[in-house]
């Protein structure tokens, strides 16, 4: 029996939701409605949202936000303060380069250095009692782009489970969260890891897995080319420039999609050697590192679960 599938557009990307009967199109639409709900709350690509309210009041006052938004921001801030490569305060740098958006450019070195002063996660004040967030200096901006998709995917899964969905796929622009057993005889899933030099959906390899999250941070879809030099959209908070290493992508396999987003960013920043060592000691987290010369390196838990095509 084939899955019931429907495509949508949200979060700046194509969304594909699928369920198996007896679930129905109504479950797909309920998932999409939840995406729209969270996009309205969390986006930084519109002038108004709960997160933009915090950003607009940077250097002015603390802003109270609902419990779910506060919890997500707090998680992102605490991860950022580990300084492993994930930084929720990266907003001013992202909006300076604009890579992947209209007006993408290579800023001056002086402008980049000026923005570095605005991306310190220690300067985000959190008040658990009042559930307020205060950015200490005007110009600071929270950007949840590195974590929101994972959070939303996890919320859709919980919604679907409450609605009785037994099998499904939540695909938020390449970040995939699997629900329940697949329809294959062994009940497991086969999920492709994108080949970075081929068109979308052409895989370099395949992960054979139970229902997990499979999330990728890669540099192959959003690039800026100036005078023959390529710049990508994943930034180093120390230099203000795109991260320099030999990686095209890092794919994380985890139970929760939010963990996949955080660790794919950290894994990309740390590179294969340090990133792999860090991930090996995280319970339930596995990774596929793909290099610019298309070599794949996997963590120990994937050695018999990942195969090149």
265 is in an annotated binding site: yes
Residue positions counted in the chain: 309
Report helix, strand or coil for 216: strand
DSSP states along 178-211: EES--SSTTS-EEEEEEPTTS-TT-EEEEEEESS
Residue written as token pair 């309920």? 30
Report helix, strand or coil for 308: strand
Of 82, 46, 97, 75, the residue nearest 146 (C-alpha): 75
146 is in an annotated binding site: yes
**Chain centroid to CA 57: how far?**
25
How wide is the angle at C-alpha 147 spanned by C-alphas 302 and 134, nearest 5°?
A: 150
User: What ranges make up the beta strands (E) of the chain?
Assistant: 4-10, 13-19, 63-64, 124-127, 132-135, 168-172, 175-179, 189-194, 203-209, 213-218, 223-226, 229-232, 247-254, 286-291, 296-298, 306-308
Of 215, 199, 306, the residue nearest 252 (C-alpha): 215
Residues belonging to the binding site are 146, 265
Residues in binding site for Mg(2+): 146, 265
């Amino acid at each position: 029996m084939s899955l019931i599938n429907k495509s949508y557009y949200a979060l700046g990307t194509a969304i594909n939701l699928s369920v198996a009967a007896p679930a129905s199109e109504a479950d797909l639409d309920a998932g999409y409605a939840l995406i729209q709900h969270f996009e309205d709350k969390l986006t930084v690509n519109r002038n108004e949202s709960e997160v933009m309210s915090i950003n607009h009041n940077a250097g002015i006052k603390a802003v109270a936000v609902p419990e779910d938004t506060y919890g997500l921001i707090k998680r992102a801030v605490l991860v950022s303060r580990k300084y492993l490569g994930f930084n929720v305060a990266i907003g001013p740098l992202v909006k300076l380069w604009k890579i992947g958006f209209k007006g993408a450019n290579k800023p001056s070195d002086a402008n980049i250095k000026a923005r570095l002063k605005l991306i310190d996660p220690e300067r985000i004040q959190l008040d658990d009692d009042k559930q307020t967030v205060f950015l200490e200096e005007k110009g600071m901006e929270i950007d949840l782009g590195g974590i929101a998709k994972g959070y939303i995917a996890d919320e859709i899964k919980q919604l679907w489970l409450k609605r009785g969905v037994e099998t499904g796929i939540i695909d938020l622009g390449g970040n995939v969260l699997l629900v329940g057993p697949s329809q294959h005889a062994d009940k497991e899933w086969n999920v492709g890891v994108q080949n970075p030099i081929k068109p979308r959906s052409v895989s370099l390899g395949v992960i054979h897995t139970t229902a997990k999250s499979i999330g990728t941070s890669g540099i192959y879809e959003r690039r800026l080319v100036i005078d023959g030099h390529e710049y990508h959209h994943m930034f180093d908070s120390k230099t203000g420039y795109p991260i320099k290493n030999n990686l095209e992508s890092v794919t994380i396999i985890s139970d929760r999609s939010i963990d996949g987003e955080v660790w794919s960013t950290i894994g990309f920043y740390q590179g294969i050697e340090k990133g792999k060592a860090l991930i090996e000691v995280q319970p339930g987290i596995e990774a596929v590192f793909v290099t610019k010369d298309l070599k794949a390196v996997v963590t120990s838990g994937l050695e018999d679960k990942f195969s090149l095509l």
